[in-house]
Structure 1
Amino acid sequence: MGSGRLASALLAVVLLHHSSGFWIINVVFPPKTKTGALSNSTSPLIIVPGNLGNRLEAKIDKPTLVHWLCYKKTENWFPLWIDINMFMPIGLDCWIDNMRLVYNRTTRRSTNSPGVEVRVPGFGQTYPIEFLDNSQLAGYFHTMVQHLVNAGYVRNETVRGAPYDWRLAPNENAEYLSKLQDLVEEMYNQYQKPVYLLGHSMGCHYVLYFLNHQPQEWKDKYIRGFISLGAPWGGAIKTLRVMASGENDGIPMISNIKIREEQRMVTTNPWMLPFKDVWPKDHVFISTPNFNYTNLDYERFFKDISFEDGWHMWEDTKNLTAALHPPDVEVWCMYGVGLPTVVTYVYDDEFPNGDPVDFVYDDGDDTVDSKSMSLCKRWVGQQKKPVHVTEYRGLSHLDMVFHEEVLNQIQQILQGKSDTPKEIDVRLSAKEQMMV
């Protein structure tokens, strides 16, 4: 299949499944905003993407190959995420081998696959988070960045991206955290204004970890505030299904079991398991004919799915942000509610090598439950800085970075208007909102 037909296939998948995974194309018609000049009171902004939310590149010189058709050596860096060749059957095997991490139980550290170098392109720029591929088919933060540009921001100047190797939890990403601190200080010195940090999904945990490791004096000087979108503050139940039987996020060319090979080889999935102090100890996340797994059964869960490295990864990462220490900066916590969201996956005898056969739902944004996302409310009274919480009724997890109501609210925050509504029903028109 030629690259043009592959691109068309990807576009079709993206259009059909934009709300189920990071295969996003809600960028063709960005919301209309009035172009204007940035006011003197507006602070610069750094965006930290979520899991899978920025490009990765690789260069290889591999000692062995998983298939004779895979490339053994490249002279130049090439796209690793998203690489359109991964949608070909043999290409997927090559991609998984290039993408995977190798975990060492002795050093408690992860390394790239032998003979593979991986880098994050464009740190400090917006292009690697606006579109995840060179063809600009899979859009992520493009709509938001364009909205901000229309409002007076300037790409790579007053609004910048902070992409990272999202395969790694922050305990293995010290260089990134140092670069993020340098970027904050650089923008502060350039514009003589404290900086806003905006995170989406897992990126919010990265921001929280970063802020929790900064002195208060530094935060008071350099950070204006933290805007979090759809943060799984108590972890995400979906990660259990991802590691057990895989989750292709609606991509029909890739089987769940096949993509599971890669999903088990990153440390961020165990990190995002539901935190123990959030859910009742008797809540069943995974139900099978032989055993019901709660948050007390993680060690057995990893053993039963034949992924014991996952238990050690979880041991390494479980305390990174689970205590939810307040960030001690002004916070705007925004997330979707009112959508059925899976809180229990039911399997038959094929577990873990078959898909779930049934589901138990609760309230959430279709990806993360509201119990987890609403935990930012506990920071009210725990820190001196204000904490603002807005729930968007009817808004899905990924639409948080697209929806005009959210973008307008972010623009208001960046312009210094701290007051935010407690709830916005995105199913209502603007006139109906005013009548509520």
Structure 2
Amino acid sequence: MSALRRRIVNVLRDTPSTSSSRDVTPEPGEELKLVPSRKLEKLKKAKGSKRKSGIIFGLGGLLGLVLALLFAQSQDVIKLEGLLEVNLDSLMDAIPAGIVRDVKDLSKAERDVVNYDSFAVGLHLQSQGISAHHPVIMVPGVISTGLESWSTGEKSRQYFRKRLWGSWSMMRALVLDQTEWKKHLMLDKDTGLDPPGIKLRAAQGFDATDFFITGYWIWNKILENLATIGYDPTNAFTAAYDWRLSYANLEVRDQYFTRLKSYIEIAYATSGKKVVLVSHSMGSQVVFYFMKWVEHKDHGKGGKKWVNDHIDSWINISGCMLGTAKDIPAVLSGEMKDTAQLNAFAVYGLEKFLSREDRAELFRAMPGISSMLPKGGEAVWGNSTWAPDDLPYPQQNKTHGIFLSFKPKLNSSTTPRKNMTMAESFQYLMESTEPWYQDQVRHAYSHGVAHTKSEVEQNENDPRTWLNPLEARLPHAPKLKIYCFYGIGKLTERSYFYKDNENPFQGNVNVSIDTSVSSPNGRVQQLGAIDRGIAFGEGDGTVNLVSTGYMCAKGWKQIKRYNPAGVKIKTYEMPHEPDRFSPRGGPNTGDHVDILGRSSLNDLILRIAGGHGDEVEENYQSRIWEISENVQIFDKE
């Protein structure tokens, strides 16, 4: 038995008894009170119990300290060896061996999951003989690319070549200089280009997208595994872009698509092999737009064979091909799940710091954000009685086809707003926002459906349709291969409950999410449930399943007008199976962003890049086939 344990035992042994043999004689003149014997006995017991409670509390604190030190050591925060004045052997002896063993096992499991080897996938494939084959060009998603200031005005010089998006400089500017930060991030409301005197540009190279801020990786794990099988800056490239711009203005201001075309042609010329494009989220819309742009005689001037001759495969990761439901509340009222689910104190702080009006204005002044507004109208997203992705009752008792629901006010004589479908919600957005925003959206994008072959062919000359796969076809590239990889099984925003603001004529936001509406009995973490004004459906936590999966499962496979050349499509769904120890979900996550670190996704990317794409087999585990059959778009020709 250790010295520490002996001390503890001695303390317990030396504790005075609570039942004294005789009472102490009172001092002369001391005030006396008569107390019943039963009450006196209770007081004596209470005094003794307090002393014992103090000892137990001390032991509990000691145990807590040791556990904290164990966890700190496992994370390399504190080195226990440095605490020389503490007899650690004595401390460990005083704790039951079972507790120590459990803590060590728990700590090791956490460390193994959080710090799983980023290079393991590449090393495994390297051992199988897979190496760099096709040049790889990566196209990141929305907000993934860092934006740095190239402004030289008096107020901007302090930020010169510092990232005002995607770094700790952004955080510092947002906190200490919010007005200037917002002014730099917003584009000109009339032109959609740089405001006078302000110039932000997308960071370039792998550093542009590997980490959002220090410690929060985005593309880094993919880069690590690519490097393991032989990739480096000579055969891999990140085509970063300013995601705030509309797609047409990406070319007008930055010549982005011209440069992307050149990168692909150089990669093909120097390697003799066609390129593999890897895109994520909004980046998949950018790639689809690019393939239309590069073919066109008045734009990329590549001709109908260019894609077929230069691109081997397109890996579409979590592509929001039909937009995402959460984009409408973001630009309508500056809200989404992340803001609606904050507690009252956090909401108060957020509103004081960056109000809903500020957020809505910021989102609207970034036309690239609006490229992800839902496409397809009621044919894809449902009507007032039904939606393709509705669940059967009692899993869901409100159709997702009603996208915005307005609950009548209690004790109010006013007529409540009419509930709105997706198409009606889009129209309401256009009517309730500023004219400059309406012009930006209508001149840059189209959100409809081409139901006939002739409509699709007419859209070949309409750049507004080039990011909408329901209105524009795939290129004439029969040798092209498309791989659709996306997460499933994570609750995703699908429809909303809204309410009128108390002061509808104040500011640029007239409505807000009604956070008082939730499913009864606490049933909020299930499909079809409602949590603080948001109804949840299927998806990857950000993009709805119908958006990531419909074109891959049916639109491009079974509707010929959208894929007249017969481009081969393979789909691999990835269930969201997060590890409870990892804040990013671990190697089996299906989350929209964290999936970029998923082991199986990295494995598939490396196989395709290494020339073994034929080894990829399809994997369906969701309801995407059922949902796709319910979508009201048919192969009429």
Q: TM-score, normalised by structure 1?
A: 0.80
Match status 1:101 vs 2:180 = no
Give the superposition deviation at 1:370: 0.8
Indicate the structure (1 or 2) with the bigger Cα radius of gyration: 2
Aligned counterparts, 1:301-316, within 5 A: 301-304=429-432, 306-316=433-443
Q: Which has the higher strand share?
A: 1
Question: What are the within-5 Å matches in structure 2 for residues 37-436 of structure 1?
Answer: 42-62=133-153, 71-74=155-158, 76-87=160-171, 88-104=174-190, 109-122=191-204, 125-133=205-213, 136-154=214-232, 156-174=233-251, 175-213=255-293, 214=295, 215-247=303-335, 250=338, 254=350, 255=354, 257=356, 258-277=358-377, 278-282=380-384, 283-289=401-407, 290-297=417-424, 298-304=426-432, 306-316=433-443, 317-318=445-446, 319-322=465-468, 323-327=471-475, 328=477, 329-350=480-501, 352=510, 354-357=512-515, 358-374=533-549, 375-377=551-553, 378-380=555-557, 382=563, 383-394=565-576, 395-415=590-610, 416-423=612-619
Determine if contact 1:245/1:256 at 8 Å carries over to the other structure. no
The answer as to whether partners of 1:120 and 1:163 remain within 8 angstroms in 2 is: yes
Pair 421,92 (structure 1): closer, same or farther in 2 beyond 3 Å: farther
Deviates more, 1:306-315 or 1:173-182: 306-315
Residues 356 and 326 (structure 1), Cα distance of their counterparts in 2 relative to 1, 3 Å cut: farther
Q: Secondary structure at the match of 1:112?
A: coil
How far off its partner does 1:352 sit?
4.6
Q: Distance in 2 between matches of 1:402 and 1:222?
A: 28
| Aligned residues of 1:33 and 1:151 also touching (Cα < 8 A) | no
CA drift of 1:299 comes to 3.4
1: distance between equivalents of 2:383 and 2:261? 38
Change (3 A) 1:157 1:353: farther
Q: Return 5+ residue gaps in structure 1 as ranges.
A: 1-25, 64-70, 427-436
Q: Tell me if structure 1 keeps the 8 A contact 2:288–2:466.
A: no
Match of 1:5 in 2: none
Q: Is the 8 A contact 2:134 2:274 kept in 1?
A: yes
Measure how far apart 1:311 and its partner are.
2.3
User: Which amino acid in the other structure matches residue 570 of structure 2?
Assistant: H
TM-score, reference length from structure 2: 0.56
* Whole-angstrom CA distance in 1 between matches of 2:486 and 2:216: 22
Change (3 A) 1:300 1:201: same
SS in 2 for 1:243: helix
Distance 1:285 1:31 in 2: 43
Q: Structure 1 residues 356, 418: closer, same or farther in 2, change over 3 A? A: farther
Shift in Å at residue 193 of structure 1? Answer: 0.5
Cα gap change, 1:301/1:178 in structure 2, threshold over 3 Å: closer, same or farther? Answer: same
1:362, distance to aligned residue in structure 2 (A): 1.6
Q: CA offsets per residue over residues 250-298 of structure 1, 9 Å max, x none?
A: 5977546243332121112222111135323442322234243333332
Q: Residues 176 and 320 (structure 1 numbering): CA distance in 2 closer, same or farther, change over 3 Å?
A: same
Amino acid at match of 1:340: L
- Cα pair distance change 1:363/1:40, threshold 3 Å: closer
Q: Which amino acid aligns with 1:242?
A: A
Indicate if the aligned counterparts of 1:342 and 1:367 stay in contact, CA closer than 8 A. yes
Q: Paired residues, what number? A: 384
Residues 420 and 324 (structure 1 numbering): CA distance in 2 closer, same or farther, change over 3 Å? farther
User: Does the aligned pair in 2 maintain the 1:237–1:273 contact within 8 Å?
Assistant: yes
Structure 2 CA distance for aligned equivalents of residues 137 and 129 of structure 1: 13
**C-alpha deviations, 1:166-186, integer Å up to 9, x for none?**
101211111100000000011
- Structure number with the higher helix fraction is 2
Tell whether the 8 Å contact from 1:240 to 1:286 is kept in structure 2 after alignment. no
After superposition, the CA RMSD in angstroms is 2.8
- Unpaired runs of at least 5, structure 2: 1-113, 296-302, 340-345, 385-400, 408-416, 447-464, 502-508, 516-532, 577-589, 623-637
Q: 1:356 to 1:331 in 2, by over 3 A?
A: farther
Deviation, structure 1 residue 342: 1.4
What is the DSSP-based 3-state SS (H/G/I as helix, E as strand, rest coil) of the residue aligned with 1:173? helix
Residues 48, 161 of structure 1: 8 Å contact kept: yes
Q: CA deviation at 1:78?
A: 2.2
Give yes or no for contact 2:492–2:537 (8 Å, CA) kept in 1.
yes
Question: What is the DSSP-based 3-state SS (H/G/I as helix, E as strand, rest coil) of the residue aligned with 1:205?
Answer: helix
Cα deviation code 1:1-21 (max 9, x no counterpart): xxxxxxxxxxxxxxxxxxxxx
Change (3 A) 1:162 1:341: same
* Deviation, structure 1 residue 93: 2.4
8 Å CA contact 2:145, 2:209 repeated in 1? yes
CA separation of 1:347 and 1:212: change in aligned 2, threshold 3 A: same
1:103 maps to a residue whose letter is K
Q: 1:365: how far off?
A: 0.9
Deviation sequence 1:92-113 (CA, Å, 0-9, x none): 3221110101132xxxx31222
Percent sequence identity over matched residues? 21
